Amino acid sequence: MTAPIGVIGGTALAELTALEAAGNPAPASTPYGPSSGPLVCGRFAGRDTCFVMRHGPGHRLAPHRINYRANIRALADAGCRQVIAVAAVGGITPAMRAGRIVVPDQIIDYSWGRAHSFHDDPAGGSLDHIDFTEPYDSALRTAILETARRLDLAPADGGVHGVTQGPRLETAAEIDRMERDGCDIVGMTGMPEAALAREAGLDYACCAVVVNKAAGRSGGSAIHAEIEATLTRGMANVERILEQLLPSL
């Protein structure tokens, strides 16, 4: 039996509109608490798929309040072995223009205070220091990129994903620092999600949409208007990618 594909929906991707759910979706129960939102499992583009809303119904969970461990554990318990994480991000470097699809290949984690491991409970078993040199699965990254190219979406192949604490947006000085550190895009939810997926033995990759220029790269107060103008179109392109990609995995 083919394992289902896990999809984690971010900002403006609260559902997969073509996902035919089997049964009545409900938050998954895990040893780490319930998942952020209902774990919706069914058929999408002819492929078994499990979808979870990262921020929960109504986009109510701030990035530092998301139960990342429960979401990853729920997908693993549902039989998923590959997970595609969708994220809305800000563009730092000039190539990361609004509306562009980015498939990052590296992460710098600036977040703090989040439950970031399955192995931090002394009563929970042996400690495991995962190899996180390459935080995203290369084969899954390649599959996303090739699909986006077939759809003429000109995706960015690679980039460093800087993960901040949120929920506020960053200052111009913070973005300047992140660019000096080598970051190309900035988001708030890429960690500890990626590391937890590695601990759980899941192949994980991110399909990000640049929805605005980061602080100091655009017109300040105009940033929210830029986000709103870009989100809908960008997430529609993500769904197009998923519809073409998932049957081939």
Question: Is 213 assigned to a binding site?
Answer: yes
What does the pLDDT average to over 149-154?
Answer: 97
Residue 46 within any structural domain of the chain: yes
Residue 219 within any structural domain of the chain: yes
Residue 124 within any structural domain of the chain: no
Question: Is 67 assigned to a binding site?
Answer: no
Cα angle: 100, vertex 106, 112; to 5 degrees: 105
Distance CA 247, CA 249 (A): 6
Question: Which CATH number is 165's domain given?
Answer: 3.40.50.1580
Residue 138 within any structural domain of the chain: yes
What does the pLDDT average to over 201-222?
Answer: 86
pLDDT, tens only, 49-101? 999 999 988 889 999 999 999 999 999 999 999 999 999 999 999 999 999 99
Question: Is 212 assigned to a binding site?
Answer: yes
Burial of 216 (0-12, 13-18, 19+ CB in 10 A): middle
Q: What is the DSSP letter of 124?
A: G
Could you list the residue range(s) of the whole structural domain that residue 36 is in? 5-118+130-248
Residue 123 within any structural domain of the chain: no
3-state DSSP assignment of residue 171? coil
Mean pLDDT across the chain, nearest whole number?
91
Question: Is 237 assigned to a binding site?
Answer: no
Q: pTM here?
A: 0.93
Q: How sure is the predictor about 218, in pLDDT bands with cuts at 50, 70 and 90?
A: confident
Residue 151 within any structural domain of the chain: yes
On whether the CB atoms of residues 69 and 30 are closer than 8 A, the answer is yes
Residue 125 within any structural domain of the chain: no
Residue 33 predicted with pLDDT over 90: yes
Question: Is 96 assigned to a binding site?
Answer: no
Number of domains in the chain: 1
Question: Is 188 assigned to a binding site?
Answer: yes
